[in-house]
């Protein structure tokens, strides 16, 4: 087990590392500190966080983790329902009723969720009797709409993971992107296609500036990106609140701090008619996933990024500059989260509100972890979470069970995915050979 | 550019940079005092009142002319900055200089913001500061206890939230505030235990873990709030609140009394917690062992300290403390629980801990500073100050970014912070 803590194991370029580390980089106290990086040298443990995220757990464990989380969510739904609790107070006189009540409540919740996220049988049968065909696809459309910002901001976190950075700042970058995209959308007049393109690019730039600041701070001063991003999130939230209070950015005649809606020209076009919310933002997100894959595997920047993520010392001795890579990566990651903001403001919400950022930034972390920091995985994880979110709304409408249960389930999924030994204990799975399956190995602030 | 050369060069340059950067900040703040708060102040004096309604002893109001006061204090800051740059001061005088510059800035700012407006109630401003600081201090102490033993605690936010929830619900349904306080603490401890098990037994990355636990706590309390507290508001979510306890004699001292010695039990618990954690960590054998585990677990293990047990215990203790802080948000002030009532205060507590360089006293000072900026944002709104409160609310976060960037001195985490200990 101790091999884990010494680094990324044998698969990484070990030769240059030894050469670089043998003269002891003169940073005895700096390795575990918060101010890792340039100011203190890069001594110490290379990113096992990266390994952990990448090789987190096998597909079996992931599936079992999702299953366990849903079961716990179901139990929570059942045992917080007054009818079930009433039935259980008569457990010994009517045990059958107690169990069937619990089952019914949980089952109705999850079937409502399915109807809201995948397909509702009623709309299918209605379509055969002259109803709307589009209505059949409404749940899937809602799933993709919910997944779009999750894919984009999830990529923002995942790409940072690959470079050994933990980007908790998707919220702030989202706000930066949403604000610039929204501002271009409602304040500028441009011809049709050009307007939406410029607004989307503006979203990328807005997020990019926010993210780039974090990268610059880390590269220049060694400030730990986790702290800077957390704090920057709140700074951006208050900045948004302040800006929306100014007359320039505020819709005239409204009492609330809300911006005017973006112009029609700047909205992302619907993909399947006006009745379904699915829009070009989803294509943008998929394109971004493809672009990130290409960036990671086919470009020099991607190679440097992966090398720096695997071992900054090795990267440095091979002539790369980790500092420069951090700045570039955070510029791109910020831009991706900014695109998520643009996709929301230009695709579904249209007006800036003080709460526009929702929980996308935090959900992005769970999506990136579940997707194991790979673009394809992120897309799948975002679709799963998007379906949970879309289904949760329908569930609340049909069964009055609060939508927050989806947040609980999502957190539990990641908790279990992050702890494969726990899942194996629950299901009595045989542990794999040591080293074959790296679990999420913890490490210090110095990553 | 060999690997050996880089850190040495950086370190020397950083030391020079820091001294000059701090001196520069002093001078800049002084100039802001003079040219913004001094020259641009509205006409009229700034009036501070020091007497609450019904106080036994009446203290006369203080009336300051903002122009001369701000310019004088600004000049002092500039001089201190120049002295700082020119000479090498002792550690104590460095700190005194920094404190003087900060105080000058705050006083000038208050004079400027109150000039020609309704009097600024100093005592209630400070009372709000103390009230707002309680969860921050307790959360930051929770962080100190955990991180000194080598476990990163980002889950403070979740611990506050669960503490607030459990405190309100239990106090409301059983009608006992003390039971609510204990349960709130236990709820925080429970999340602490969860953090400990996943971090220590299942060696999950502790930063990821903290974030996920916060999401979990937010989702769980949000769900239970909508599911149970909203329909049964009267039974489950209408707790009483702790009343103020005035300490005899001390509570009657003008100005200080009502601020420090006339508050709910939470403030007194906080005093005790700060003292206990500070003495415990730095003056006892227990604390020496905790810090040994946080700095060098292998060495600690070699001399027979039970590393994992120490970590379990400290993380759970921290959770218990943060849980009390959470309970203060409901049964210590507003009473009923609301969704996400902690609203990022756990992250401010984390910031306070870092700002205070992982020491209980430093963290407490930072938490008080952050509490002050929150209280100030409230008060300035009521006296009609032109500064948007958003910027004051931003202050703790901006200050933390500046701190981790190294401008306020070195922030060094315990060496083994966040690294799991696996016996080899």
CATH number for B147: 1.10.3470
Give the model confidence (pLDDT) of A62-110 as tens digits: 888 999 999 999 999 998 888 888 888 888 888 888 888 889 889 999 9
Q: Indicate whether B29 and B147 sit together in one domain.
A: no
Please name the residue of chain A whose CA is at the shortest distance from the CA of residue B205: A442
Reduced to 3 DSSP states, what percent helix, strand and coil does chain B have, rounded to the nearest 5?
70, 5, 25
Does B159 fall in a domain? yes
Per-residue pLDDT for A445 more than 70?
no
Asked if A433 contacts A386 with a C-beta cutoff of 8 angstroms, the reply is no
Please report the residues numbered 147 through 166 in chain B whose beta carbons come closer than 8 angstroms to any beta carbon of chain A: 152
Give the pLDDT score at A148: 97
**Distance of alpha carbon B14 from alpha carbon B25, whole angstroms:** 16
Give the pLDDT score at B55: 65
Two structure tokens written together for A346? 């230009």
Question: Which residue of B390, B391, B404 is in closest CB contact with A35?
Answer: B404
**Distance of alpha carbon A248 from alpha carbon B47, whole angstroms:** 34
Asked if A329 contacts A315 with a C-beta cutoff of 8 angstroms, the reply is no
**Distance of alpha carbon B265 from alpha carbon B138, whole angstroms:** 13
Domain count, chain B: 2
Asked if A80 contacts A88 with a C-beta cutoff of 8 angstroms, the reply is no
Q: Indicate whether B136 and B283 sit together in one domain.
A: yes
Question: A39 and B14: CB-CB below 8 Å?
Answer: yes
Give the pLDDT score at B38: 82
Does B1 fall in a domain? no
Taking residues A194-222, report their average pLDDT: 94
Give the pLDDT score at B389: 81
Taking residues A279-291, report their average pLDDT: 96
B414 touches chain A (CB under 8 A): yes
Per-residue pLDDT for A32 more than 80?
no
The ranges assigned to domains in chain A are 49-127+141-427
A434 touches chain B (CB under 8 A): no
Q: How far apart are the first and last CA of chain B?
A: 37
Please list every residue in chain A whose beta carbon sits closer than 8 Å to the beta carbon of residue B207: 166, 226, 445
Neighbouring residues of A50: CB distance < 8 A, sequence distance ≥ 6: A8, A161, A162, A164, A309, A310, A373
Q: Residue B376 CA to chain centroid, in angstroms?
A: 15
Question: B205 and A49: CB-CB below 8 Å?
Answer: yes
Neighbouring residues of B1: CB distance < 8 A, sequence distance ≥ 6: none
Question: A414 and B350: CB-CB below 8 Å?
Answer: no
**Distance of alpha carbon A318 from alpha carbon A348, whole angstroms:** 46
Give the pLDDT score at B99: 87
Residue B68 vs residues A23, B38, B75, B108: alpha-carbon distances, Å: 59, 7, 10, 10
Domain final residue, candidates B65, B96, B117:
B117
Question: A442 and B199: CB-CB below 8 Å?
Answer: yes
Please list every residue in chain A whose beta carbon sits closer than 8 Å to the beta carbon of residue B414: 32
Domain final residue, candidates B117, B145, B175:
B117
Neighbouring residues of B255: CB distance < 8 A, sequence distance ≥ 6: B50, B59, B122, B123
Per-residue pLDDT for A428 more than 50?
yes
CA max distance for chain B: 72
Please report the residues numbered 202 through 261 in chain B whose beta carbons come closer than 8 angstroms to any beta carbon of chain A: 202-209, 211-216, 218-220, 222-228
Taking the C-alpha atoms of B305, B307, B313 and B317 in order, what is their torsion angle to the nearest 10 degrees? 100
Question: Which residue of B198, B224, B422 is in closest CB contact with A1?
Answer: B422
Band (A16; pLDDT cuts 50, 70, 90): very low
Please report the residues numbered 311 through 330 in chain A whose beta carbons come closer than 8 angstroms to any beta carbon of chain B: 313, 316-317
Among B302, B304, B393, residue whose Cα is nearest residue B345: B393
Please report the residues numbered 342 through 401 in chain B whose beta carbons come closer than 8 angstroms to any beta carbon of chain A: 344, 347, 350-351, 354, 388, 390-391, 393-394, 397-398, 400-401
Q: Indicate whether B47 and B92 sit together in one domain.
A: yes
Shortest distance, CA A307 to any CA of chain B (angstroms): 17
Question: Which residue of A168, A227, A410 is in closest CB contact with B404?
Answer: A227
Helices B307-329, B122-148: axis angle to 10 degrees equals: 160
B11 touches chain A (CB under 8 A): yes
Neighbours of A108 (CB within 10 A): 16
Please name the residue of chain B whose CA is at the shortest distance from the CA of residue A246: B388
Asked if B340 contacts B222 with a C-beta cutoff of 8 angstroms, the reply is yes
B15 touches chain A (CB under 8 A): no
Least confident of A315-319, A378-382, B5-9, B420-424: B5-9
Does B377 fall in a domain? yes
Does B318 fall in a domain? yes
Does B420 fall in a domain? no
Q: Indicate whether B201 and B309 sit together in one domain.
A: yes
**Distance of alpha carbon A313 from alpha carbon A307, whole angstroms:** 9
- Residue B244 is part of which domain span? 128-404
Q: Indicate whether B65 and B148 sit together in one domain.
A: no
Question: Which residue of B152, B207, B411 is in closest CB contact with A35?
Answer: B411
Shortest distance, CA B196 to any CA of chain A (angstroms): 12
Asked if A374 contacts A271 with a C-beta cutoff of 8 angstroms, the reply is no
Does B280 fall in a domain? yes
Q: Indicate whether B92 and B166 sit together in one domain.
A: no
Q: Indicate whether B109 and B154 sit together in one domain.
A: no
Q: Indicate whether B74 and B164 sit together in one domain.
A: no
CB pairs under 8 A between A and B: 223
**Distance of alpha carbon A214 from alpha carbon A322, whole angstroms:** 14
Taking residues A23-46, report their average pLDDT: 35
Does B10 fall in a domain? no
Per-residue pLDDT for A40 more than 50?
no
Give the model confidence (pLDDT) of A121-151 as tens digits: 888 888 888 878 888 899 999 999 999 999 9
The b-or-e profile of A388-425 (16+ CB within 10 A means b, else e) is bbbbbbbbbeebebbbbbbbbbbbbbbbbbbbbbbbbe
Neighbours of B249 (CB within 10 A): 9
Asked if A158 contacts A378 with a C-beta cutoff of 8 angstroms, the reply is yes
What is chain B's alpha carbon radius of gyration, rounded to the nearest angstrom?
Answer: 23
**Distance of alpha carbon B156 from alpha carbon B192, whole angstroms:** 9
- Residues, chain B: 424
**Distance of alpha carbon A303 from alpha carbon A324, whole angstroms:** 13
Q: State the average pLDDT for chain A.
A: 83
Taking residues A224-244, report their average pLDDT: 91
Give the pLDDT score at A433: 47
Give the model confidence (pLDDT) of B96-151 as tens digits: 888 888 888 888 888 888 887 788 888 888 999 999 999 999 999 999 999 999 99
Give the pLDDT score at B33: 87
Does B2 fall in a domain? no
Choice between B57 and A182, residue whose per-residue pLDDT is larger: A182
Question: A418 and B204: CB-CB below 8 Å?
Answer: yes
Per-residue pLDDT for A266 more than 80?
yes
Neighbouring residues of B99: CB distance < 8 A, sequence distance ≥ 6: none
Question: B419 and A442: CB-CB below 8 Å?
Answer: yes
**CA angle, B228 then B229 then B234, to 5°:** 120
Question: Tens place of pLDDT for every residue, chain B, 424 residues?
Answer: 334 334 444 444 555 567 787 888 889 888 888 888 888 777 778 888 887 766 666 778 888 888 888 888 999 999 999 988 888 888 888 888 888 888 888 888 888 888 877 888 888 889 999 999 999 999 999 999 999 999 999 999 999 999 999 999 999 999 999 999 999 999 999 999 999 999 999 888 888 899 899 999 999 999 999 999 999 999 999 999 999 888 888 888 888 888 899 889 999 999 999 999 999 999 999 999 999 999 999 999 999 999 999 999 999 999 999 999 999 999 998 889 999 898 889 988 998 898 888 999 999 998 998 898 888 888 887 777 777 788 888 888 888 888 777 665 555 788 888 888 887 6
* pTM of the predicted structure, to 2 decimals: 0.85
CA pseudo-torsion sign A297, A299, A301, A304: positive
Question: B3 and A313: CB-CB below 8 Å?
Answer: yes
Among B219, B217, B192, residue whose Cα is nearest residue B206: B192
Neighbouring residues of B286: CB distance < 8 A, sequence distance ≥ 6: B280
Walk across the sheet containing B46-49 and list its strands.
B62-64, B46-49, B120-121
Q: Indicate whether B136 and B277 sit together in one domain.
A: yes
Residue identified by tokens 């039970």 is B306
Please name the residue of chain A whose CA is at the shortest distance from the CA of residue B5: A25
Question: Which residue of B202, B215, B401 is in closest CB contact with A411?
Answer: B215
**Distance of alpha carbon B231 from alpha carbon A411, whole angstroms:** 26
Asked if B111 contacts B40 with a C-beta cutoff of 8 angstroms, the reply is no
Domain final residue, candidates B64, B95, B117:
B117
Q: Indicate whether B205 and B348 sit together in one domain.
A: yes
Two structure tokens written together for A409? 């389930």
Give the pLDDT score at B407: 60
Give the pLDDT score at A331: 97
Q: Indicate whether B287 and B336 sit together in one domain.
A: yes
Interface test with B, best of A28, A32, A242 (most B CBs within 10 A): A32
Question: Which residue of A33, A34, A442 is in closest CB contact with B205?
Answer: A442
Give the pLDDT score at A57: 55
**Distance of alpha carbon A195 from alpha carbon A184, whole angstroms:** 8
Give the pLDDT score at A425: 85
ipTM above 0.90, yes or no: no
């Amino acid at each position: 087990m101790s091999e884990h803590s010494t680094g990324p194991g044998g698969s990484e370029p070990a030769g240059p590392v030894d050469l670089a580390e043998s003269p002891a980089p003169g940073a005895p106290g700096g390795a575990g500190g918060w101010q890792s990086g340039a100011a203190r040298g890069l001594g110490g443990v290379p990113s096992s966080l990266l390994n952990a995220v990448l090789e987190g757990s096998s597909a079996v464990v992931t599936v079992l983790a999702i299953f366990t989380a849903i079961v716990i969510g179901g139990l929570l739904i059942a045992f917080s329902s007054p009818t079930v609790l009433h039935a259980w107070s008569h457990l010994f006189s009517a045990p059958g009723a107690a169990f069937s009540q619990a089952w019914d409540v949980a089952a109705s919740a999850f079937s409502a969720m399915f109807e809201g996220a995948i397909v509702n049988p009623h709309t299918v049968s209605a379509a055969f009797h002259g109803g709307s065909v589009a209505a059949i696809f409404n749940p899937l459309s809602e799933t993709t709409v919910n997944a779009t910002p999750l894919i984009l901001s999830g990529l923002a976190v995942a790409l940072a993971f690959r470079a050994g950075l933990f980007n908790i700042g998707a919220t702030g970058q989202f706000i930066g992107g949403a604000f610039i995209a929204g501002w271009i959308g409602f304040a500028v007049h441009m011809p049709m296609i050009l307007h939406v393109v410029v607004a989307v690019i503006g979203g990328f730039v807005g997020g990019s500036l926010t993210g780039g600041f974090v990268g610059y701070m880390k590269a220049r001063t060694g400030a730990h990106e986790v702290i800077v991003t957390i704090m920057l999130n709140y700074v951006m939230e208050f900045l948004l609140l302040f800006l929306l209070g100014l007359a320039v950015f505020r819709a005239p005649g409204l009492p609330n701090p809300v911006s005017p809606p973006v112009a029609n020209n700047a909205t992302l076009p619907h993909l399947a008619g006006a009745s379904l919310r699915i829009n070009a933002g989803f294509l943008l997100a998929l394109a971004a996933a493809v672009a990130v894959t290409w960036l990671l595997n086919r470009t020099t920047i991607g190679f440097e990024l992966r090398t720096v993520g695997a071992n900054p010392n090795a990267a440095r001795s091979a002539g790369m500059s980790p500092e420069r890579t951090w700045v570039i990566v955070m510029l791109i990651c910020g831009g991706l989260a900014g695109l998520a903001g643009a996709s929301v403001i230009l695709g579904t919400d249209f007006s800036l509100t003080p709460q526009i950022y929702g929980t996308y930034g935090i959900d992005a972390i769970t999506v990136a972890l579940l997707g194991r920091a790979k673009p394809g995985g992120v897309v799948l994880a975002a679709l799963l979470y998007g379906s949970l979110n879309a289904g949760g709304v329908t569930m609340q409408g049909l069964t009055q069970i609060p939508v927050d249960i989806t947040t609980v389930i999502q957190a539990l999924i990641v908790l279990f995915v992050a702890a494969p030994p726990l899942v194996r204990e629950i299901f009595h799975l045989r542990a794999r050979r040591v080293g074959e399956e790296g679990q999420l190995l913890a490490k210090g602030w110095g990553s | 550019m060999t690997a050996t050369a880089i850190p040495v060069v950086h370190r020397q340059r950083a030391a020079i940079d820091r001294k000059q950067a701090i001196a520069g900040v002093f001078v800049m703040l002084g100039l802001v005092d003079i040219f913004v708060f001094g020259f641009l102040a509205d006409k009229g004096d700034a009036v501070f009142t020091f007497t609450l309604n019904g106080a036994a002893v009446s203290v006369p109001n203080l009336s300051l002319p903002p122009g001369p006061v701000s310019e004088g204090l600004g000049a002092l800051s500039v001089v201190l900055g120049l002295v700082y740059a020119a000479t090498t001061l002792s550690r104590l005088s460095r700190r005194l200089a920094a404190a003087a510059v900060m105080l000058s800035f705050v006083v000038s700012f208050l004079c400027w913001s109150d000039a020609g407006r309704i009097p600024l109630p100093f005592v209630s401003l400070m009372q709000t500061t103390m009230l707002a600081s309680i969860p921050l201090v307790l959360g930051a102490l929770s962080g100190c206890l955990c991180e000194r033993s080598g476990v990163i605690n980002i889950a403070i936010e979740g611990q506050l939230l669960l503490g607030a929830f459990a405190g309100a619900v239990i106090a409301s349904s059983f009608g006992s505030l003390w039971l609510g306080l204990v349960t709130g603490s236990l709820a925080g401890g429970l999340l602490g235990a969860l953090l400990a098990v996943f971090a220590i037994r299942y060696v999950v990355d502790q930063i990821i873990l903290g974030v996920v636990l916060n999401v979990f706590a937010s989702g769980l309390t949000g769900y239970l709030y909508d599911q149970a507290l909203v329909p049964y508001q009267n039974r489950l979510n209408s707790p009483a609140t702790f009343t103020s306890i005035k300490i005899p004699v001390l509570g009657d001292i003008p100005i200080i009394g009502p601020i420090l010695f006339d508050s709910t039990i939470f403030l007194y618990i906080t005093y005790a917690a700060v003292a206990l954690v500070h003495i415990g960590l730095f003056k006892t054998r227990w604390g020496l062992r905790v810090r040994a585990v946080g700095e060098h677990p292998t060495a600690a293990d070699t001399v027979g300290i039970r590393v994992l047990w120490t970590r379990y215990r400290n993380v759970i203790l921290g959770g218990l403390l943060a849980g009390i802080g959470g309970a203060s948000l409901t049964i210590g002030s507003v009473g009923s629980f609301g969704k996400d009532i902690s609203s990022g205060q756990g992250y401010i507590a984390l910031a306070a801990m870092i700002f205070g360089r992982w020491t209980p006293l430093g963290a407490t000072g930072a938490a008080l500073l952050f509490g002050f900026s929150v209280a100030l944002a409230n008060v300035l709104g009521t006296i009609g100050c032109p500064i948007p409160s958003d910027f004051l609310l931003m202050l703790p976060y901006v200050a933390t970014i500046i701190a981790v960037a190294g401008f306020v001195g070195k922030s060094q985490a315990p060496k083994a912070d966040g690294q799991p200990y696996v016996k080899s």
